Structures are given as structure tokens and as C-alpha cells.
């Protein structure tokens, strides 16, 4: 019964943080590209 509650909460957080994760990935790729262009 506890695992069902944990699964439901985990699913809710996954949906909520999916957009945040995508933004973080975009920022990371942009920073890596910027540092690569800046280094030469």
C-alpha cells in the first residue's frame, strides 16, 4: 500500500519536473556550446 502512494507521488513529481529537467538540459547544452565557442 505504501509503494502505491510512493509511486503516485513519484509520478506527480516526474510530470511536474519534466519541464524543469528539459530547461536544465537546454541550459547545460547552451553553456557547453558557449564555453566551446569561447575557448576557441
DSSP characters over 1-40: -HHHHHHHHHHHHHHHHHHHHHHHHHHHHHHHHHHHHHH-
Domains in the chain, number: 1
d(CA 27, CA 14): 19
Per-residue pLDDT at 17: 86
Residuewise pLDDT in 10s, the chain (40 residues): 688 999 999 888 888 888 888 999 999 999 888 888 877 6
The C-alpha torsion from 21 through 26 and 32 to 34, rounded to 10°, is: -150
Distance separating alpha carbons of residues 12 and 33, to the nearest angstrom: 32
The reported pLDDT for the residue numbered 38 is 78
Whole-model pTM over 0.85:
no
What local confidence, expressed as pLDDT, does residue 40 receive?
61
Residue 30, domain extent? 1-40
Amino acid at each position: 500500500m505504501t509503494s502505491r502512494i510512493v509511486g503516485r507521488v513519484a509520478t506527480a513529481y516526474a510530470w511536474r519536473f519534466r519541464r524543469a529537467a528539459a530547461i536544465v538540459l537546454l541550459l547545460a547544452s547552451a553553456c557547453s556550446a558557449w564555453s566551446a565557442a569561447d575557448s576557441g
